[in-house]
Amino acid sequence: MIKSKKLLWFGSMLTVALLIATFFVPTTLAAEEEAIPTLYDNTTETINSIETEATELGIEVPGTFYWLKNWGRSIQKTFTFNPIKKAEIDLTQASEQLIKARAIAATSDDPVVQEKVEAALVKYEERMEKIKERSDEFRAKAPELADKFMEKLTDRQIKQQDIMSKMSEKMSEEALQHMSQIKEKTMEHYGEVVGKLIQNKEQIAGHVMAALENQNKTDFNRLKHVEILKSLENKVPAEAVAAIIKAENNVLEKFKTEADRLPNELKELNYINYLEKVRRAPSKSIEIFEKIQDMNILPANVSTSLNLIKEERTLKADILMNGIENMDEASKMRFEKVQEQTQAHFEMQKEEASQIRTRLDDHYEDLPAAQKEMLNQYKQDANVIDNISNENLSEAQKKSPEQMRAHAPDGINP
């Protein structure tokens, strides 16, 4: 009799939960999850790139009825008691929100559209945080699935970081700062998860390196891999840090060996392209390029570009940290002069890249397959960069010190 009452009570609660989910959850999700606006107004190259990225993450580009899928997953999670199965759903939802942000970011630089990009990125980070929160239970409740999930999580995290690095072209300075914070947070979540799941902390670097070796290594991706490792330095247990730094140096040595084999013009083209991205978005890339500079393998004009970016960023950091009121006129003039020099140099570099590209195109059929792929990737990236008008370049590159001060992100004001 008691057992029957318990079953009846459970059945009643289940019915109520289903009714609430049926009538209220879809309405909420439909309001929150808008379809991606005018995605297919983009170039074929951009569309193909986004769809390929989605496939690599094991998902589809979210469409009109994405909210309905999300509703179904919310119900599924309610009745899933295995923490790793729940985390896999979180990982899928996180990847979908990131692809949604990537696709929306590619459609327009309109501030209203960019707000939707940021909203999707916030949801992405929240899903990744959920995985971290569930990770305490992984070994205890699903030990047979823990290692496999960790491999999947590492693979997805690397690809997600790479996707975010491609989203800077049409984003404002404030949005870029926000995205940079989200990249850092999600790497922090990942670092906590692997720290809990890997007993021998020194093996964390080997685990990450194994995943990196399975990634695409064209178009200087080795440098992106070093950036990911560098981001992990202060996010893994202390016992793992030395191995992470060693892994960074090993990847840089591999990069040097591979770069040395490239024709000088193709190598220079890739350096120019990479530095264009470095200038546009906050990242660890400056530190990585400094290491490459120490190896004495940078072409002279690329080394000049790096020095100008470093000086521009140092002066900008001083303005943001110390306050415009504490700057003398000479310092303000110096900053504005460096901005002008850097912009002029990058315009000249863009023209040089165009000439190199024309020469390579003339001998395209003679290039090995890997170099053709690298050149094609460069063209895709360059087309995006060429479509950015001067007014849509990173705002900090053109603002006077006073304007920069007025638009400084929260937390930077002294």
- The mean pLDDT value for 284-312 works out to 87
Q: What is the pTM of this model?
A: 0.78
Cβ atoms 315, 366 nearer than 8 A:
no
Cβ atoms 226, 252 nearer than 8 A:
yes
Identify which has the larger pLDDT, 324 or 307.
307
Tens-place pLDDT, residues 227-247: 999 999 999 999 999 999 999
- How far from 135 is each of 125, 149, 150, 195, 375, CA to CA, in Å? 16, 11, 10, 10, 41
Cα torsion angle, 391, 397, 401, 402, sign = positive
Cβ atoms 268, 302 nearer than 8 A:
yes
pLDDT-derived band at 284 (thresholds 50, 70, 90) equals confident
Beta strands in 13-80 (DSSP E): none
How many CB atoms neighbour CB 344 within 10 A? 11
Residue 385, pLDDT above cutoff 80: no
Residue 42 DSSP code? S
Mean residue pLDDT of the chain comes to 80
Rounded Cα distance between 43 and 336, Å, is 36
Tens-place pLDDT, residues 3-13: 454 445 544 55
pLDDT of residue 381: 64
Identity of the amino acid at 62 = P
- 275 closest CA partner among 263, 264, 290: 290
Which of 58-67, 128-137, 386-395 is predicted least confidently? 386-395
- The mean pLDDT value for 296-305 works out to 87
- How far from 265 is each of 269, 272, 360, 362, 373, CA to CA, in Å? 6, 11, 8, 13, 15
Tens-place pLDDT, residues 18-43: 445 444 444 444 445 555 554 545 66
Cα torsion angle, 19, 20, 24, 29, sign = negative
What lies within 8 Å, CB to CB, of 269 at 6+ separation is: 353, 356, 357, 360, 375, 378
Greatest mean pLDDT among 84-88, 107-111, 169-173, 339-343: 84-88
Cβ atoms 168, 391 nearer than 8 A:
no
pLDDT-derived band at 212 (thresholds 50, 70, 90) equals very high
CA atoms within 13 A on the CB side of 106: 28
Tens-place pLDDT, residues 352-365: 888 888 888 888 88
Q: Token pair of 117, please?
A: 């990009």
Tens-place pLDDT, residues 259-274: 888 888 888 888 888 8
Residue 374, pLDDT above cutoff 90: no
- 10 Å CB burial of residue 64 (0-12, 13-18, 19+) is exposed
pLDDT of residue 22: 47
What lies within 8 Å, CB to CB, of 124 at 6+ separation is: 94, 97, 98, 101, 160, 182, 186
- For tokens 């979180």, what's the residue? 90
